[in-house]
Amino acid sequence: MSTGFFGDIAQIKYEGADSTNPMAFQHYNADEVIMGKTMAEHLRFAVAYWHSFAWEGGDPFGGQTFVRPWHPQDDMGRAKMKADVAFEMFDILNAPYFCWHDADIRPEQGNFADNLNTLNEITDYIGEKMDAVGTKLLWGTANMFSHRRWMGGASTNPDPDVFAFAAATVKSCMDATHKLGGENYVLWGGREGYETLLNTDMGSELDHMGRFLNMVVDYKHKIGFKGAILVEPKPQEPSKHQYDYDAATCIGFLRKYGLENEVKLNLEQGHAILAGHSFEHEIAVAASEGMLGSIDMNRNDYQSGWDTDQFPNNVPEVALAYYHILKAGGLNSGGTNFDAKVRRQSIDAEDLIASHIGGMDVCARGLKAAAAMLEDGGLEEALKARYAGWESAEAKGMLESDLASITDRVLNEGINPEPKSGRQEILENYVNRFV
Ligand code: XUL
Ligand code: CO
């Protein structure tokens, strides 16, 4: 029985680029085959439970703007109503996946035992809805940043009791993710960092975080969870400085604690921007190390400097992101999670649907452009040409030699390199043909 929340909005269908129907896909054609896979298989869209159903529209200057029938979110009956509405939306969008934090789906009880009971109850309920609607779980995660107990960090907290509470919380969320057939498990450490170095022992906090993540990996193997463990880089906000700053920092951390073959990265467009990188930079860094796990798709306001978690609407940007994903062999167990929220003035049920339609269409256009560029091969050809010198036996041999012998060769052969154009504008013009 419908909750009635979405009124008369019917299932969203693909109508093609000429359609002017705002409640239809113009570009996302789930079954269309691109480079041997359907769009649905490439993109693996997920809806983020927190932005669409748990966030109430507050900002640093004002509180709730959304008035929903499942508010206030402090009661199990209303948590179930929230799940009913969520699965109606997954059905309307035909979204293959969703993602949650424990705190999005169950009411906070203020102690671990009751949080565990309510998490078990709501995930049983959600499991039935997953079976009925056919939506799968891309990943689960623990919210270890909202409640005041986490204010000084979770695994990096100076108080060992908070470390213990965090360990129990992550175990419960991994169990729930496993129970629901989740395909990944994510850790984002919003409070794993510091506000001031004046009160922070950074070395021991990092050691605790490394040990904690090793326990997570051990537990994954113990319960036979086959999904990937993913950490999500972000440089700051809410902490002034977060230890998982960006992809490169995370990779160094994972290597230091022996986790480079066990943990991959969940990369987010807006977090890349906050770190001073492009999204494709973060994807390329992870891909070059074989650590590309999944993506959180959104966009950041380039002026505000905040994590604005807007729905993507920039096709050229998205195209370059998927270009690097396709080049790396795709998302595997990962997916495209819309870690994106409507603006706080977008208070209607229709806004929740329209935002996802737009996001899915923008990603579809980006994917199509990326695939066309890869199939055309222009960028790969240019790349190959630029590095062609390294194909020679002499050049390769140099990497096995030493500074003194290389110096001899420079002197003997009179090596004096002639600069060559990087051809950036020509390549940018090339990309422009596809987007
Ligand atoms: C916060 C953020 C989180 C993670 C999951 O910026 O991106 O929602 O994706 O905790
Ligand atoms: Co995210």
For residues 215 and 328, membership in a common domain is answered with yes
Report the atom number in ligand 1 closest to the C-alpha of 186. Answer: 5
Same domain? For 134 and 216 the reply is yes
Collapsed DSSP state (helix, strand, coil) of residue 293? strand
322 occurs within a structural domain = yes
Residue 17 lies in a domain: no
pLDDT for residue 223: 98
Q: DSSP letter at 418?
A: P
Domain presence at residue 408: yes
Residue 128 and residue 216 share a domain: yes
Distance 15 CA to ligand 1 centre (A): 33
Same-domain status, 365 and 408: no
| Boundary of a domain, candidates 334, 352, 376 | 376
My answer on whether 408 and 355 are in the same domain is no
Environment class of residue 351 by beta-carbon count within 10 Å: exposed (0-12), middle (13-18) or buried (19+)? middle
9 occurs within a structural domain? no
**CB half-sphere exposure, 51, CA atoms < 13 A:** 27
CATH number for the domain spanning 223: value is 3.20.20.150
Both 181 and 275 in a single domain?
yes
- Flag whether 22 is in a domain: no
Q: Report how far ligand 2's centroid is from the alpha carbon of 232 (Å).
A: 7
In a domain, 5, yes or no: no
Q: Give the count of alpha carbons within 13 A of 356, CB side only.
A: 29
Instruction: Choose the residue to mutate in 232, 308, 338 for probing ligand 1, maximizing ligand atoms within 8 Å of C-beta.
Output: 232
CB atoms within 10 A of CB 140: 29
Separation CA 105–CA 124 (nearest Å): 11
Residues with CB under 6 A from ligand 1: 101, 141, 186, 188, 232, 234, 268, 296, 307, 339
pTM of the model: 0.97
Domain count, the chain: 2
207 labeled binding residue = no
Q: Which residues of 187-202 are buried (b: 16+ CB within 10 A; e: fewer)?
A: bbbbbbbbeeeeebee
Q: Within this chain, do residues 341 and 216 fall inside the same structural domain, yes or no?
A: yes
Both 267 and 416 in one domain: the answer is no
State which ligand 1 atom lies nearest to the alpha carbon of 48: 8
Q: What is the pLDDT of residue 420?
A: 97
Whole-number pLDDT of residue 305: 83
**End-of-domain residue from the set 349, 376, 403:** 376
Q: Which of 52, 184, 296, 299 to mutate to test ligand 1, by most ligand atoms within 8 A of the CB atom?
A: 296
Residue of 49, 145, 188, 279 to mutate, ligand 1, most atoms within 8 A of C-beta: 188
Residue 66: alpha-carbon gap to chain centroid: 25
Q: In this structure, are strands 228-231 and 184-187 parallel, antiparallel, or unpaired?
A: parallel
Q: What is the DSSP letter of 328?
A: T
Distance CA 174, CA 391 (A): 47
If you take atom 5 of ligand 1, which residue's CA is the nearest one?
188
* Tens-level pLDDT at each residue, the chain (435 residues): 799 999 999 999 999 999 999 999 999 999 999 999 999 999 999 999 999 999 999 999 999 999 999 999 999 999 999 999 999 999 999 999 999 999 999 999 999 999 999 999 999 999 999 999 999 999 999 999 999 999 999 999 999 999 999 999 999 999 999 999 999 999 999 999 999 999 999 999 999 999 999 999 999 999 999 999 999 999 999 999 999 999 999 999 999 999 999 999 999 999 999 999 999 999 999 999 999 999 999 999 988 889 999 999 999 999 999 999 999 999 999 999 999 999 999 999 999 999 999 999 999 999 999 999 999 999 999 999 999 999 999 999 999 999 999 999 999 999 999 999 999 999 999 999 999
**In a domain? residue 387:** no
DSSP at 59: B
Rg for the chain (alpha carbons), in Å?
24
**131 assigned binding-site residue:** no
Catalytic residue check, 277: no
Spot the catalytic one: 27, 42, 51, 101: 101
Domain shared by 345 and 257, yes or no: yes
Which residues, in sequence order, are bridge partners of residue 37?
34
215 & 69 share domain: yes
Going by C-beta distance under 8 Å and a sequence separation of 6 or more, which residues neighbour residue 87?
A: 129, 130, 132, 133, 135
> For residue 35, what is the DSSP state?
T
Query: At 108, is the secondary structure helix, strand, or coil?
Result: coil
Helical axes 349-376 vs 76-93, angle rounded to 10°? 40
Residue 384 lies in a domain: no
Do 221 and 349 have their domain in common?
A: yes
Cis amide leading into 160 (omega within 30): no
Determine the structural domain holding residue 414 and report its residue range.
Answer: 392-432
Please, where are the H alpha helices in 21-75? 39-43, 49
Q: What is the pLDDT of residue 45?
A: 99
Report the C-alpha gap between 413 and 127 in whole angstroms: 70
Residues 68 and 177 in one domain: yes
Give the angle 192-197-200 at the CA atoms, nearest 5°: 55
Boundary-marking domain end, from 376, 403, 421: 376
d(CA 271, CA 348): 27
